[in-house]
Amino acid sequence: MPPPLHRLTVPREHRPPRMIDVARRAGVSRALVSIVLNGKPGASPTTRERVLAAAAELGYTPDLNARRLRAGTTALIGVIFEGHDAFTACVLDAAHDAAARRGLDLVLTMSSATVPLSRAVHTLTRQRVRGILLISSAAPDAEAVSLLAQVPCAVVGAYAPTALEGRVFSVHTDDASAMRQVVRHLAGQGYRHLVVTRVVGRRSGDVRAGAAAEEAAALGLEVTEVSVGGYDESDGVRAGADVLLALGPTSGGLRRPTAVVGANDALALGILHVLRAADLRVPQDVGLTGFDDAKAGHSPAGALGLTTVHQDAVGIVQAALAALESGGVPHERVLPGRLVLRRTTAPTGPPAPVTGTNATRPTGSTGSTGSTDPARVTGANGPAPAGAGSVSTPPARPPAVARLSDPECTPLPPRPRVRHPTRPDGPGADRAPGKI
- Residues 124-149: tens digit of each pLDDT: 988 889 999 999 878 899 999 999 98
The amino acid that residue 163 corresponds to is A
- In words, the CATH class of domain 70-173 is alpha beta
Q: Cα dist. 132→1, 11, 318, 334 in Å?
A: 45, 35, 13, 19
What integer is the mean pLDDT of 312-322? Answer: 96
Quote the DSSP letter at residue 159.
Answer: P
Quote the DSSP letter at residue 351.
Answer: P
C-alpha closest to that of 86 among 263, 260, 235, 301: 301
Using CB atoms within 10 A of its CB, is residue 16 exposed (0-12), middle (13-18) or buried (19+)? exposed
What integer is the mean pLDDT of 156-173? Answer: 94
The amino acid that residue 48 corresponds to is R
Tell me the residue ranges of DSSP E strands in 300-393.
308-310, 332-335, 338-340, 374-378, 384-387
SS3 of 212, please?
Answer: helix
Confidence of residue 29 (pLDDT cuts 50, 70, 90): confident
C-alpha closest to that of 428 among 287, 306, 275: 275
- Give the pLDDT of residue 255: 79
Tell me: pLDDT of 251 over 60.
Answer: no
Using one digit for the tens of pLDDT, what is the confidence trace for 35-51? 888 778 878 888 888 88
Same topology, domains 17-62 and 70-173? Answer is no
Confidence of residue 431 (pLDDT cuts 50, 70, 90): very low
Q: Are 82 and 114 in contact (CB under 8 A)?
A: no
Quote the DSSP letter at residue 396.
Answer: S
CA atoms within 13 A on the CB side of 327: 1
Confidence of residue 2 (pLDDT cuts 50, 70, 90): low
Yes or no: domain 176-306+338-404 corresponds to CATH 3.40.50.2300: yes
Tell me: pLDDT of 270 over 70.
Answer: yes
Q: Domain residue spans in the chain?
A: 17-62, 70-173, 176-306+338-404
What does the alpha-carbon distance between residue 411 and residue 337 come to, in Å, rounded to a whole number?
26
Distant-in-sequence contacts of 107-116, Cβ < 8 A, 24+ apart: 107/76, 107/77, 107/78, 107/79, 108/78, 108/79, 108/81, 109/78, 109/79, 109/80, 110/80, 110/81, 110/82, 111/80, 111/81, 111/82, 111/136, 111/138, 112/82, 116/141, 116/143, 116/144
Tell me: pLDDT of 12 over 80.
Answer: no
What does the alpha-carbon distance between residue 384 and residue 366 come to, in Å, rounded to a whole number?
19
What integer is the mean pLDDT of 204-232? Answer: 95
What does the alpha-carbon distance between residue 390 and residue 173 come to, in Å, rounded to a whole number?
18
Helix H or strand E encompassing 193: strand 193-199
The CB density around residue 400, as the number of other CB atoms within 10 Å, is 10
What dihedral do alpha carbons 315, 316, 317, 323 form, nearest 10°? 110
Using CB atoms within 10 A of its CB, is residue 96 exposed (0-12), middle (13-18) or buried (19+)? middle
DSSP symbols for 251-270: TTB--SSEEEE-SSHHHHHH
Cα dihedral sign for 337, 342, 345, 349? positive
What does the alpha-carbon distance between residue 310 and residue 171 come to, in Å, rounded to a whole number?
15
- In words, the CATH class of domain 17-62 is mainly alpha
User: Cα-flanking dihedrals φ and ψ of residue 341, to 5°?
Assistant: -90, 125
Confidence of residue 295 (pLDDT cuts 50, 70, 90): confident
Predicted TM-score (pTM) of the model is: 0.68
